[in-house]
Structures are given as structure tokens and as C-alpha cells.
Chain A
């Protein structure tokens, strides 16, 4: 199956909705998120120009879920197929990162994540208008996906190009041939042109933040500078950055007594939380907030890279938007970079 053309966004949504639950983007003036799509009440669902405020991890790794039970063990079940629409390249790269942790582990696989991942049908799209905090280009990202999707949409003047990216996506398209048309002449050139335009836009947005060394080298070398402690002075420990982050995946298991059965809940946690690493008896390797802000960045840019060959950051900029203390990752890295240069390590 090759790339096809569709005139209206809803045509694809309705086709998807015939087969599975569909979550689609809804963008408001203040925020944007995925909503359950109901063909009878489309309710503001529309093509999103950039990533949404909320990350896609919630579809695979919900805020809280049951992970075990007693006395009768909890058997992981297959999940019902569902589609998520409106993911951008940064979102796809974030899923790739979560896969490294939850799926691609030769010893332990998270069966709940795996079941949902298996059931998830991914419809991504090219970015047309990056947000002010988008900084994917600083971390090797780009404004259009090339892999990691079932279908990818590119907006062109009169509609959308729909490109299959997996056998699942191609098969889906072949079931709805009547809704799609062949690619109009010059449409591929137009897509190329649009992609180029958005790339230039994101490059311009980030021109001031260009780093002259690899991010891991900058963070590693900047470990000892007081910047992390200065950063801590602005941080109010709300943990919004880790919750809104599409790649952060810390959690804890919490057991509760539910009459005569017990439930083990798996819930999001945050390494910014003071007692996150505290052990019984009171010892705490990261009692000081500056050590926690440092650990967060070291994990993202150094430790994860060492383990999986990827940065655990996709430059979506959600943490920049969410931070109650006004901290900006781009500025922090630029500053670390500058300190490095001024320390004569440039």
C-alpha cells in the first residue's frame, strides 16, 4: 500500500472509529489534549499543528493501574484495540524510549504496557506550527515522522497525504480504499516544501539555544557547577515536569487492602519528590533538591544514553510550559554550555 490522499480529516477518523476506540486531538486556546472521538459529536476534534499539552504515555502507562492482586493472581489480559491520533515525531520518539524500559528488556517485560502497546494504532502527523517551547531539533528530533507510526498524515493545501508506516497501517488503508484517492500530482513536492518550511521555523525558534557540544557532554561536564542548586532555588517541587514529560516513567507500587482482596497499584512517581530515594532509617542520597534536579538531567542525558543509546528527552518542551518556577531546559543547557566554555573546556 502506498501513500494516499484524503480530503477531510473526519473521513479517516470515522473509518478508524468503525473498528476501534479513537482518541483524537482537541486544541483549545489555553490547552490541548486527546479526547475520545464520537462520530456523532465530533466536538472540536481537529488536526493539531504541533504536539498536544498532554503526553501520549497515559495510553500505555496510566496514572494508576492495578498491577497485582491476592490471593488470586492478576493475569495480564489483551487490551482492546484503540487508535491515537495527532502524535508528532517527538511523541513517537518518546514511545520508543518507553519501549526500551517496559518492553525491550531481556529479563522483565511490563505486561500491562505490552498489552496496550500491542493494541495501539498510531496515527501521527507532520508538524505545521511548532509551539514556542518546541526544541526537538536540539535533541536530534525533526518536524515530521519517518518511522514508529501505523499511519502518518501530512497536511497539504486541499487535504492530507496518508502514509502507511507498518503492515497494520497498510492493511487498514486497504480496507477503506473508497475513502481515499491517489496522490494528486505535485502533492509530494508540496509535502516536501511544507516540511522544509516548518524545519526552518523550528531552527529559527531554537537558534539562540544551539549548543556547541553534545548534550550528554555538556551535562556530564556541568555536574559540578552550582547551576543545579540555583535551578533548585526556582523549583517549587510540584513535579509537573516529570508528570507532563512523555518519557519520564518513574512509578511506585503501593499495596492497599480492599476488603478481603489486596490490590497492588502501580502509580506514577517523580524523582523530584524528596523522599523518592529515601531508605528506612532516613538515609537519602538525594535529600537536597539540587541533587534531585541534577539527577533528573543526568538520567535523561547521560545514564539513559549509556544504557540505551538514546537521550531520554525528545525536546517537546512540555516541561518548559508546565514549570511553575519558570525553569527552561533550553536555557539551562545553554548556560551549562557557557559555563563549560568559560571553564576552558570548550
Chain B
């Protein structure tokens, strides 16, 4: 057991990558190798300034360094966006439970994401890509406000499009000159015959409203709530199931989640807010 679970491990930001006008990725090198399962999260500390939860967006296979993709959303994320390589930070984790990848073997994996929700999804995708032959198909539906707002553009519109067994469709709310793909919110490209709803598993990650409507759409299409995996963003502080901030009914999103099936949490009030 960790001696002090509130104490972060020292780490350094070694690279900052601009992803979109409001999102940056930070490559972080921890003092000691750091392992995690895809979908687990960390608490990232900017010493003396605050802490916030993020899901590493890099492959769990890399333990020497890790990437987190951060949208500027408030106090801590705003300060992080001002950081340069060399900045000392702290990480706590890995925390919570991630995606049950082994349970996806042999199945169609249907991944729907939007905005910065692609961060956890990238880590999952990198894991799936490493073992792509083990899954029936991996089908992705991603959305962003405008084409510029997509994160991981180089991979998303480059090598990932060419992987056998991986099919990605992207949509934008507002197109611009170069965009030739679909226009509209992501729910509009979630179609009943995208996958076999009786067999496939769905993974949903994105802004709360998007998650809500996508989940309802999936249920409408006949997806069993037990096969819809949601990555829940809740207010978190301790990350270890004690402080009470992240509760969804009887669950602590930090300890029992952040990945839940819709079946686990659907009965509780206001899960989407």
C-alpha cells in the first residue's frame, strides 16, 4: 500500500504539443517508471497551484514517459497551459479502473467520442491497435466543433485511417473550406447498422451532453446498457474514494470508475450533469 496517497510523485514536463486552439498535450517524465491501464487516470499537480484529474492519452505500454492532453477549462488547466518544458509537476496514480480490454476480444468495439474526450480514447485506441487482430472490428465515430478542434490530427487523418480492422468517421458541427466529411453533431453519424448491436461493445467519452445523447441513441438502437462503457467526468479531489466529491449514487467515480457501464449508474439522479 502507498505510504501517503495524497503525495504526488515528482515528474517533469518535457514537451508541449499544441493540439487545437484550446487543447495541448503534455509529455511528462516521471521520476520513476509509471504504469497504468488504459482508461485509468492520474491527478496532475502543478506544485502550489492545484491539482486536477486527467486520463493519460498515451499507450500504457510506455512507462518512461506519459502524455496527457488537456483542455483549458479553468484555474488549474489554465495555469498548465502556460507551462513550458522543464516545468516540475507531480502525478498521483494510477487511479480508478479503466476499460476492460480483455472483455472486448472477439467483439466489435464501437467507440464514440468528442472534443477532449478523445484523450482517453487515444490511449484505448493505441492499446487496441497493438492487438488489432484480436477484435472483430474497431469502429470509431468522432466529433469536433470545427476541423481545427480535432486533436491528434496527424494520426487521426493519417496512419489511423489506414489500419486494417479500424474504421474511423469524423464529423464537425461547422465545416470550413477543406472539410469534405460529414457535418453535424456526432449523434447523427451513430447509425443502427454501424455495428451489430446485439454483440458489440460501445465506448463513449466526451462532453456530458454528448455522452447523454449518444448513450440514449445507443439504447434506442438496441444496445444493452451492460455493453455501453462510459468514462465519467465528475468533480474529483482525493481520487481515492474518501473525499466524497465524485459520488454517482453509491459509486465513487474515482475508485469504482471512471469507466462505468450505463447499467451500473443509470438509476442514479442527474448522472449527466
A residues near B, CB below 8 A?
67-71, 73-76, 101-102, 105, 107-111, 223, 249-258, 262-264, 266, 269, 271, 276-281, 283-287, 291, 294-295, 298-299, 302-303, 306-307
Contact A285 B269 (CB under 8 A): yes
List chain A residues, Cβ under 8 A from B90: 70
* CB < 8 Å A-B pair total: 140
CB distance from B94 to the nearest CB of A (A): 11
User: 1/0 contact trace for B237-254 toward A, CB 8 Å?
Assistant: 110111111111110000
14 additional contacts (CB under 8 A) given A101-B242, A280-B52 = A67-B7, A75-B3, A107-B1, A108-B1, A108-B2, A249-B244, A250-B244, A251-B243, A264-B45, A266-B6, A281-B74, A294-B269, A299-B247, A302-B250
Q: Contacts A280-B73, A291-B269: A255 and B49 contacting too (C-beta < 8 A)?
A: yes
6 closest Cβ pairs, A-B complex = A262-B48, A257-B48, A280-B73, A250-B244, A67-B6, A303-B250
Beyond A255-B49, A286-B270, A291-B269, whether A68 also contacts B8 by CB under 8 A is: yes
Smallest Cβ-Cβ distance to B10: which chain A residue: A71
Please state if B48 and A306 are interface contacts (CB–CB under 8 Å): no
Whether A108 contacts B5 by the Cβ 8 Å rule is: yes
Give the CA-CA distance A157 to B257 in the complex, in Å: 56
Complex contacts, A107 vs chain B, CB 8 Å: 1, 240-241, 255
Q: Which residue of B lies closest to A108 (CB)?
A: B240
Q: What is the size, in residues, of chain B's interface with A at 8 Å between Cβ atoms? A: 46
Note all chain B residues with C-beta closer than 8 A to A255: 45-51
Pairwise interchain contact A250-B8, C-beta atoms closer than 8 A: no
B273 near A68: Cβ-Cβ < 8 Å: no
* Chain A proximity of B107: nearest CB distance (Å): 29
Known contacts A68-B6, A109-B1, A269-B243; A277/B250 CB under 8 A: no
Nearest CB on A from B26, distance (A): 17
Q: Across the two chains, which residue of chain B brings its CB closest to A109?
A: B1
Contact of A75 among B4, B47, B235 (CB under 8 A): B4
Specify which of A102, A105, A271, A291 is in contact with B244 (CB 8 Å cutoff).
A271
CB-nearest residue of chain B relative to A76?
B4
Shortest B1–chain A CB gap in Å is 6
In the complex, chain A residues whose CB is within 8 Å of the CB of B237: 251-253, 269
Residue B184 at the chain A interface, CB threshold 8 Å? no
CA–CA, A27 and B39, complex, Å: 53
Binding site for A on B (CB under 8 A): 1-8, 10, 45-52, 73-74, 77, 88, 90, 207-208, 233-235, 237-238, 240-250, 255, 269-273
8 contacts between A and B (CB under 8 A): A68-B6, A101-B241, A110-B5, A251-B238, A262-B48, A277-B234, A285-B271, A302-B250
Shortest Cβ distance from residue A103 to the other chain B in the assembled complex, whole angstroms? 11
Chain B nearest CB: distance from A291 CB in Å? Answer: 7
Contact residues in B for A279 (Cβ distance below 8 Å): 233-235
Tell me which residues across on chain B come within 8 A of A70, comparing CB atoms.
8, 10, 45, 47-48, 88, 90
Q: How far is the CB of A63 from chain B (nearest CB, A)?
A: 14
- Enumerate chain B residues within 8 angstroms of A278, measured Cβ to Cβ: 235
Instruction: Identify the closest chain A residue to B1 (Cβ).
Output: A109
Task: With CB as the reference atom, state the residue of chain B lying closest to A259.
Answer: B48
CA A283 to CA B208, docked complex, whole Å: 8
Contacts of A303 in B (CB 8 A): 247, 249-250
